[in-house]
């Protein structure tokens, strides 16, 4: 998933999942990828060709699902890490 080094990767999560998302973004950045955390003042807008990695225990957080809809509307790749089987 992270093989395309030209792709920008965005990370998102709410509450404790947000802390995990921030740590994941930092680790992926250390591997040489361009990463951003959604919700930070310096994060650019998601666009076509970008990737959004959402971390959510429930998989149904309103903010995270909203970010996913927006990213998909921009033709970005969306991935979800959740502990809930059959999350939307």
For residue range 39-53, list pLDDT tens digits in order.
Answer: 999 999 999 999 999
What pLDDT score does 3 carry?
A: 63
Break the chain down into helix, strand, coil percent, rounded to 5.
Answer: 30, 20, 50
Residue in this structure with the two tokens 């740590």, named with its chain if needed: 23
Q: What CATH superfamily classification does 8-81 receive?
A: Glucose-6-phosphate isomerase like protein; domain 1 (3.40.50.10490)
59 in the Ramachandran plot: left (φ > 0), alpha (ψ -120 to 50) or beta?
A: left
Q: Model pTM? A: 0.88
- On whether the CB atoms of residues 27 and 55 are closer than 8 A, the answer is no
Mean pLDDT of the chain: 91
């Amino acid at each position: 998933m992270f093989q395309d080094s030209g792709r920008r990767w965005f990370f998102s999560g709410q509450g404790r999942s947000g802390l995990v998302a921030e740590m994941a973004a930092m680790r992926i950045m250390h591997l040489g990828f361009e990463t951003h955390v959604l919700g930070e003042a310096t994060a650019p807008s998601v666009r076509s060709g970008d990737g959004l990695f959402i971390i959510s225990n429930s998989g149904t957080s309103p903010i995270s699902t909203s970010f996913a809809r927006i990213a998909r509307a921009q033709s970005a790749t969306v991935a979800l890490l959740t502990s809930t089987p059959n999350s939307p």
